[in-house]
Structures are given as C-alpha cells and as structure tokens.
Structure 1
Amino acid sequence: MKLFDNITKRSFGFNLLVILGVIVLFFIIFFSSLSFLTRHGEEVTVPDVRGKSIKEATAALEKMGFEVEVRDSIYIDTMPALLVYEQTPERGDVVKVNRTIYLTVNKVVPPMVPMPDLEGLTYRSAEMTLRARRLNIGDTIYKPDFATNTVLEQLLNGKPIKPGKEIPEGSNITLVLSSGTGSMENPVPDLVGSTYFEAREILAASNLNVGTVLIDGGVTDTLGAFIFKQSPARRNELGELNLIRAGESVDLWLTATKPVKDSIAAPAPPPATEE
C-alpha cells in the first residue's frame, strides 16, 4: 500500500516519464539481444552433403545451424537409394545461418516409363530418344541390311520389347543396327517347297531378310504355309544361279499346298577338247 501511495502522490508527468523510460529500456534490451538470438550477420559456408544418406546430411547441416528440407527426388540407376543427389544452395556457397538447405534424393523404386518406338531411327536419334525417357543404350548388335546404321530391332534382356510397354527407368536397351549390305555376292537360297517358318530360318542364316510376303487365300496357318514362288529366284531363265548380297531381301509367295518343284538343272559344262 505504501508503494502505491508513493506512486499516486507523484505527479502525472513524472509517472508518464517513468513509463516511457521503462518502454525505451525494454526496446533497447530487445533489439540488443535480437542479433544474438537470430545470429544476425553470421555467415557460414555450405558443406558438400551430396552422396550422403538423408540422416547423415541432415545431422551435418543442422549442426551448423541450417534448416533441412527434402524438396524433390530423382532416380539414378548408378547411385544407391536414399542418398543426396543434389543440394540448394550448392556446396561452397556462403549464406546466413538458419538458411534452409533443400535436398534432392535418389528414389528407392525406379519409376516406370513407356518404351519408345526406335525401329527405323538412326543410332543418334535412338540414343536421344532413350535419354529423353531416362533409358540407357546397352549392347549394340550389327546385322546386314540395306539401311545402314538404322535400328532394326529393340531388345530388353535379350527379348524384343514392343513400343508403349511400361519398363523401369534406367533400363538398358539393346539395339540391333544395320551394317549395310555386304560386298560379297552369294547364290540365292532355294526356298520353293519350304514352309514359311523354314524359309525365315534359311534367310536369317544367310544374313538375308524377308521382303514382301504375299499369301494365297486358302492359307490358314502362315508359318506352316509353303513357298511356291520367290523373288529373286534361285536361278535365272538361263539356268544360272542368281546372286544376292547379305542384308538384301527376298520376296515370298505362300500357298496352303506344297508345290511340285520345277527342277531346272544347271547347264552341263562344255566337253573337254583334245589338243
């Protein structure tokens, strides 16, 4: 009560000055301690946490006074999962303490992407298309064909892969490329009388391709149908062997009934002349 009486006995002006003095003293103390509380003006160099686990990176950054936030994720097939792939700000940047460091980490499960259609593209175009889908080129296999250095087949794990099929990002795609036609000419194989299945095997063994296939109306089983005509034929009108280069194609005509082959014998060699 005595303290209250002393205050009330003071003039209003004196009490007002005391109140203003207390307020000014409070603000002086507050702003003086603000820089200490916020560590204003203190700068540190951002460490390199790439390649570390999220736990290790977070511990190292928080120890230096940074906030940590995982901002994004990416899939890198050559990098273990849940490691830091990228950081922002980058290593070596000088920033203020309490700055938030954003991390990009490597995913555990690769995302699925549709397989592109590479057949008919050049090797360079196929490579760019695969990279755009985050797919890799695995092995390259060369096969004789007239369209040099173009993609003939696309394989995944040794098997043909159809365009549009969902496959894991980072998969290795094997490309079968054309090496062009060969320089050596060999006799055209005789396919008449063989089944279409047998003819394909014969052509593949000779590094030749199946060209246009014309099917007779009575054929119900294509693979089991018989070849009754081919172009180029085994022999020409003079009975001479036709020649073909590796990588070229043979057109086939199919029928349901096995044809009777016309045997065109090779011309007999001229008799030896006596000297």
Structure 2
Amino acid sequence: MKNKYKIVRILFAIAVILFAAVFISLDYIVMPLYVQAEEVVLPNVVGLSKDEAIAKMEELKLNPILLSPRYDTQVPIDHILFQNPSAGKLVKVNRRVYLHVSGGEPLVRMPNVRQKTFRDARVTLERIGLHIRSLDQIQSELPPNIIVEQEYEEGTYLSKGDSVELKISIGPRVGMIEVPNLISHSVSDADKLLRRNNLNIGRKNYIESSLLTNTIIDQYPSEGFLLSVGDSVDIWIAKSR
C-alpha cells in the first residue's frame, strides 16, 4: 500500500515539473518571440484591383484573404471595396488581412415577357431595373399589342439599367387564314371545312386506331395557326387494326 502512495506522489511531482517547464517555455521563449516579431504598417489597398492588393500585402509579408464579392455601383468589379484591419494600423507580419472585393453593378435576370401586353412587359422590366431600348412592330398570329420576341432569352444576366429590344405584334398579315380544328372530323368533312377557308388537305398519314375509320386523329399545323390562302394542312387518319 505504501508503495502505491509513493508511486502516486512521484507521478504527481513529475506532472508538476512538466507543467512548470511548459509555463517557463511559454513565458521566456514563445512569448518573447511573438512580441519581438516584425511589425509593419498596413497599406491602403482600397480601390486597387485584387491582384494589385494581394501583391502589395504579400510584399509586406501579410496574409491577404479575399472575401465573397459584394455588388457596388461605385467601385469597379474585382477591385477592393474595403479592408479589415484598416490602413495605417501597426500589425505583425503574417497577419491576416480581409479584403472585400467589388462584384461591380448588381445583375438581374432577364424575365420572359413574350405574349405579355406592352404595358405588362414594360412594368415587368422596369420593376427589376431594365428599360426598353426599341420596340419593333411585326406581323404575327398573335393579337396586336402583344410582345412576340425579346432580344435576350429568359434567365440571361444583365446589369441594372441595361436596355432591351422587343418586337410587338400588329396582328396577322392581311389575307392570312386561321387553321380550323379538324380533329374528330371525318376526312370528307375536314376537306369541306378547309375548302371553305381557302385551304387544302396536305399529306394523309394513316395510323391504326380503335377510333372510327377515316376519323382524323391529329393535324399539322394545329388549330389557330395562321396560313396563307391555298396552303395545306397535314392530317393523321384512323384506320382499323
């Protein structure tokens, strides 16, 4: 039992000695080295490009850390917005310096304004900071005053304040004819319907179907499409299995 207590006392004494050695090392070796480390004055890199800022920091043995871009209308893209710590402070070499980079002007995504009225399209664009640069009028199967085409596809990134070109419908060309619905009609009825509208039956395609023979299953162009006088409509016709 006495031997056991003796071993415990010895281990305790060793632990105390080790702790004292670590404390003395920190106090007389590590801390003096830290205190005596070279110090430099932080330069001002705000407004510089990120490459110039990094080079300037590394030249002074500092550790620049680039942070996620922030949109800014005043500072050009990829230039430094601000730094932390700020310029003029005395810091030790290898100190981390956080650099906030400008993402330039904020970007917006082009919305889809096709088939909207001109008024709705303008409101949609202006709400996100875009403007209409020009508005061309074209003939189309859409009613008048409806947007037919847009310069940029939906989802394209643009800068706020950018302008876009739109094309607006003035209605169909004079003399164009709207394709009637032929589906579920017989071939003979469809032929009469097309002739009344100055159109013709085009290619006939036969498909096995449970529907009544000679019933039209599908058509191209579809109902509502605009064709010129004398144009043809292809049809798909049911035939017995």
- TM bin (shorter chain): 0.3 to 0.5
Query: What TM-score do the two structures reach when normalised by structure 1?
Result: 0.37
